[in-house]
Amino acid sequence: MNSLPSVYCVTCGRRVAVRGDTRRAVPQRLYCSDACRQRAYRQRVARRRTTPTASAPALPDSPWGSAAIPRQLGKFVGRDRELRLLANLSANTLLTITGPPGVGKSRLAHHHVRRMRELQRLTRVRWADLAPAALAGDGQSHSITETLRSMGDGHAVWCDANREHPSTLVVDNADVDLDECAKLVMHLVSACPQMKILITSREPLRVPGEVVFGLNPLPLPPATEHPTIRDLLQSDAMQLFVERASTGNPGFTLSEHNAHAVAEVCRELDGVPLFLELAASRVGILSITELLSRLRQPVTVLTSGSRTASVRHSSFRAALDASYDLLDDQERAVFRQLSVLSEPFGLGLAMAVCGFDERGEANMIELLARLQAKSLLIASTNAFEQTEFRQLTPIRHYGSDRLDAAGETDEVWDRLATWTTAAARQVLDLRPGFGPPPSPSIQHYIARTAEWAMRRDDQRTVPLAAALVRYGTALGQSALVQHLSHRALLLSCDDTDRVRLLTEMAAMQQATGNVTGAESLSRQAVLISRRLPDRRLHRRALVALAASERALGHLADAQANARQALQLAQSGEDPEGVAECVESLATTAAVAGRLTEAARLVVDLTRVLRSLDGAAAAGVQCALGEIALLQGDVHRAEQHALDAARGLRDAPELFGRPLVLLAVVALRRGDRRRTLYLLQNAHALRNRLGHHHTSPLESLVETELRGFVSSCDPGEVAQARSAADSTSTDFLQTYALSSSPMDQPVSEPSADSLTRRQLVIAMLVAEGFTNRQIANRIGASPRTVAAELARIRSALHLRSRAQLAGWAQAILR
């Protein structure tokens, strides 16, 4: 049986499904929707209104010489989404494709133009590539400038030919002379109303009416635990590498043995097409594993590309030298120094490593903006609505080489260590489990600078190791934490930092079951902290000692130390310290079976609730709920858990404790599905935020849940864990606070309820675009975009733009 022919909409180019008998002839014109049918009708009417005899004259060459569209021999891989967005933007007069070196701007522009010509949406196209002449030598570069400035008769004739007839001019690699190119483009826009101009550049022209299309690297393969080859090949970066490697080396095949190494190569090169192609050309000379091990220094490996490629695309160094050479001295210094930051970073950290103080903030913002405009820095918004920056991995390696060559490496690392040490001390001043943990990127920098400081026997290793003890285990760095913390104890340092480290190590030892070791470490912390002026440190050391003694069964000693800590907190007017000490006393009483005494102790805390912030107050509510559960009062436990959850709407990192409490409530009521869902979400939330601290009372309550999980079907647990990994915090809070405890979790908002245009708007919101920028992208007004956003939020039951951006990032991608 013959397969149905491939038929495409004659207006927008979208594929149209042909139904019915295949023997019937396909209609001459097919449309994907009534909107496209109406658009085609209006276009036909407009063509009839033009004078039939007014045929377009032959278009002379552009002032840049060659007007032919260059032919690309290699297979074009991926970029379906980008091509669709470009097609939607093709009606704009001036469209600029920007992106970092090697990201594929020229290739995308070429494919877009050819595709539009095939669809007869572009007819008269001229292509001007400024890169070859610009890089041929100083004299030739000067001739380009003179040509762009030229407004002679030849140029006038060329403009006249385009004045009354639709045409498209593509200017490739415009960044070689942005100022002159911008002037000429503005002249052409005013002189030729029917002309559309498509620019490719590493930096926008920054002229009125310019629509900027930022091109990102190719999507990377999934970083899941055991992906199949089919899963990996869903990534455009993976497809491109495999296609180029097999073309250059026919003996190469993707197999179970090398698939994961290929995926790591794609991630190491951050999905940049040029660098993937350069790496693929080395397959056959180097194995995939050997290639991966050498990509830490890509300058030495990615050295030769296509013979016919332009000079700036001939190697890794040439591609980045072209951008680096266009920077001024201050931009070069900041670009080099930011290369020590391998994770997303904020403005404060950027200022620290580049040596800027508060007075230089405005200058730093300007430099970051200029590097971002030149596509050497990527800006994004994190889950907390904060702007973060990062360099692509290959660009960062190039910057690191430049940093070494400038002799600035140790100086910049020293600045980074100073900043992370201050951040670590700030974290350690917070009570564990109260207050947001440092972001994963800050935790990463703490770990890296701790290693750097340890190699130099720097005393800053001690506070860095203490912070790493608190959060590093959650990041899967247990071996590093153990090594650094024990080495740090051998260094000479300030007693304050030593007490912090001993207290954190004691908590870690107790959490891992080494109660004797925890008791020894906490006792050392108590002895040293007695002579320190900071009473909070002594109080925390006493609480840690009480916890280890309670675990050893020494309940009288635990109660005595907790009472001594409580006296210190009360004398220092420290309400949070009072709450911590009372909870320690209540836990000891509960372990001893004195539940009435434990309840009375925690109820006394309600007198200090008004002086506590939201997190500490929620902690007291959870403690009240946990005592109520131990007494068998499920209803009262639920009310306290719900009160705590309501108080933590703005602190999702602390939401795990009330979730565990609600899970036990659901278990006591026989709702096993809700129990499993809440418990797995509590664990997933703590994993995502690197927050694994549990209070003493919570540990008593959670014992009941461990037996429940072990009795569940493993498939059911895996399903609940998978659902929890994709559940947003907002949705989880709404479900946990649902009025009926027996409600089952409803499904997440689905993309199926949105139109194609609404999906595009949601993706652009996720990328940080304003309403006006989105309007320019889709060819609508800002008012229309605002109305569409209101419909999208209503359809998805989302309250804010930030929630929509989070949903789009999690669901659409």
pLDDT in tens, 477-501: 677 788 888 899 898 889 999 999 9
Burial class (CB in 10 A: 0-12, 13-18, 19+), 703: exposed
Band of pLDDT at residue 330, cut at 50, 70 and 90: very high
- On the question of pLDDT at 719 being above 90, the answer is no
Handedness of CA 693, 699, 703, 708 (dihedral sign): negative
Per-residue confidence (pLDDT) for residue 2, from 0 to 100: 44
CA trace torsion 322, 327, 332, 335 (10° rounding): -70
Instruction: Give residue for tokens 């196209």.
Output: 125
Helix (H, G, I), strand (E, B) or coil at 166: coil
Per-residue confidence (pLDDT) for residue 36, from 0 to 100: 78
The model's pLDDT over 597-609, given as tens digits with 9 standing for 90+, comes to: 888 887 776 666 5
Instruction: Give residue for tokens 């979208």.
Output: 14
CATH of segment(s) 751-812? 1.10.10.10
The residue ranges of every structural domain in the chain are: 7-49, 80-214, 232-314, 327-407, 613-748, 751-812
- On the question of pLDDT at 50 being above 90, the answer is no
Per-residue confidence (pLDDT) for residue 138, from 0 to 100: 44
DSSP states along 324-377: HTTS-HHHHHHHHHGGG--S-B-HHHHHHHTT--GGGHHHHHHHHHHHHHTTSS
698 in Cβ contact with 622 (< 8 Å): yes
Kindly state the percentage of the chain with pLDDT values over 70.
Answer: 79
Q: Rounded to an integer, what distance in angstroms lies between the CA atom of residue 778 and that of residue 766?
A: 15
- On the question of pLDDT at 573 being above 90, the answer is no
Per-residue confidence (pLDDT) for residue 11, from 0 to 100: 66
795 in Cβ contact with 753 (< 8 Å): yes
- Bridge-based pairing state of the strands 94-98 and 210-214: parallel
The DSSP symbol for 748 reads P
Residue among 267, 281, 274 nearest 322 (CA):
274
Per-residue confidence (pLDDT) for residue 48, from 0 to 100: 56
The model's pLDDT over 343-371, given as tens digits with 9 standing for 90+, comes to: 899 999 999 999 998 888 899 999 999 99
Q: Which fold has domain 80-214?
A: Rossmann fold (3.40.50)
Band of pLDDT at residue 564, cut at 50, 70 and 90: very high
Which range, 416-425, 605-614, 695-704, has the best average confidence (pLDDT)?
Answer: 416-425
Per-residue confidence (pLDDT) for residue 15, from 0 to 100: 62
Q: Which residues contact 158 (CB under 8 A, 6 or more apart)?
A: 59, 60, 61, 62, 63
Per-residue confidence (pLDDT) for residue 19, from 0 to 100: 52
Q: Do domains 80-214 and 751-812 have the same CATH topology?
A: no
Mean pLDDT of 697-701: 73
Mean pLDDT of 739-743: 43
Band of pLDDT at residue 62, cut at 50, 70 and 90: very low
- On the question of pLDDT at 586 being above 50, the answer is yes
Question: pLDDT: is 697 or 271 the higher one?
Answer: 271
Per-residue confidence (pLDDT) for residue 17, from 0 to 100: 61
Q: Rounded to an integer, what distance in angstroms lies between the CA atom of residue 542 and that of residue 540?
A: 5
Per-residue confidence (pLDDT) for residue 692, from 0 to 100: 55
Q: In the predicted model, what is the mean pLDDT of the chain?
A: 79
* pTM score above 0.75: no
Q: Which fold has domain 327-407?
A: Arc Repressor Mutant, subunit A (1.10.10)
- On the question of pLDDT at 528 being above 90, the answer is yes
